[in-house]
Structure 1
């Protein structure tokens, strides 16, 4: 789990804006991207930090309201680290906006959160394991993630790759709307071409790639 996020969770809970761009790169080309990122990002002389997280997506369905979804992420490298996140619908915005923007809410929790969510009426829709590395460039966070689907519920050892590629994401979390952030992110994304094309992805057209359901 990102240590900067883990530290931020200790300071309290506040709704924030997340600016982000996404893309993908084939596994065979990942090392070329890592080399480029090490040259562009901070602390180029140190090894990039790794993460190995188990993520569970819970949904609360109401009779008269749209389903409410939260993401619970558990670090497999640091078992004491649990992170609950709510993200709003990504806004495509006008064509001049450089990134997607969504509201997000992060809070540090303990493992008992699963029992609490179940008692609240939440149902786990799917789960997966995300492994990868992340870099920082100023306030920007860059992650290169390999996604794995789980062959059995809550079994983080029996895994199968979702695809032959890695998800690449550049994101910034800010307390207020700051359109200049989008411009900085777009300029950074230009430096990663042609290895990876980072762009605004319309999530309304996507379906979850994992379908392991708690039955």
Structure 2
């Protein structure tokens, strides 16, 4: 999963390019402790005086399988709260393991806003739906960092986003930055912010 982590489509601008990377830290927190984390994030993050950003998104993960069990995975996402918003198509590359000393996950990143016919298009070119879920929660920002606290739900009937139930009794916490490859000091800034969330949640690389 997204691990990418979940986004509010209403606040996403189209981005992409072969040199963009996503820097990620993730953690989980039990439902009964989530409110305390929200209070901490309100104190630490930017523009919270204007109200928290809430989202409820439907994500569909498509896979194209090739020879030798190779596969390409794409993520199609749409807002359930804002039906007129465009769909988002996102590709997350494999984790870059070239530098074992890195304190955060680093992977290639491409995303684009599309029309509502995205699912049909992916099927037409050979992709098949692998799994889907609904993510609902809060999004915060701290400088270039995006912090998401989300509850993940499984869908009981195919693409019926009204028929959902929580997957676990916990919530996903994700801290991420999208920046050009080789951008300096991002990992240090992310780890410093993550330290301020302890002991409520321990953030780590994937």
TM-score above 0.5, yes or no: yes
1:71 paired to 2:61: no
CA deviations 1:61-96 (Å, max 9, x no partner) are 112461111000011011132100000012345343
Q: Which residue does 2:17 correspond to in 1?
A: 14
Contact map agreement 1:98 1:182 (CA 8 A) in 2: yes
Gaps of 5+ in 2: 1-7
3-state DSSP of counterpart to 1:88: strand
Instruction: Determine the structure 2 residue equivalent to 1:135.
Output: 140
- From 188, 195, 199, the equivalent of 1:190 is 195
| In structure 2, C-alpha distance between the alignment counterparts of 1:134 and 1:93, rounded to whole Å | 31
CA RMSD of aligned residues (A): 1.4
Q: Check the 8 A contact 1:93/1:100 in 2, yes or no.
A: no
Match of 1:47 among 27, 46, 51: 51
Q: Please list every run of at least 4 consecutive aligned residues from structure 1 whose deviation after the TM superposition is greater than 6 angstroms.
A: none
Structure 1 residue aligned with 2:159, among 129, 147, 154?
A: 154
Q: How many residues align?
A: 197
Whole-angstrom distance in 2 between the partners of 1:176 and 1:96: 17
Mapped to 2, the partners of 1:2 and 1:117 lie a distance apart of 19
Q: TM-score, normalised by structure 1?
A: 0.87
Q: How far apart in 2 are the matches of 1:134 and 1:182?
A: 20
Q: Which has the higher strand share?
A: 2
Scaled by the length of structure 2, the TM-score of the pair is 0.91
- Aligned counterparts of 1:94 and 1:141: Cα–Cα separation in 2: 24
Give the one of 112, 115, 121 matched to 2:117.
112
What SS is found at the alignment partner of 1:35? helix
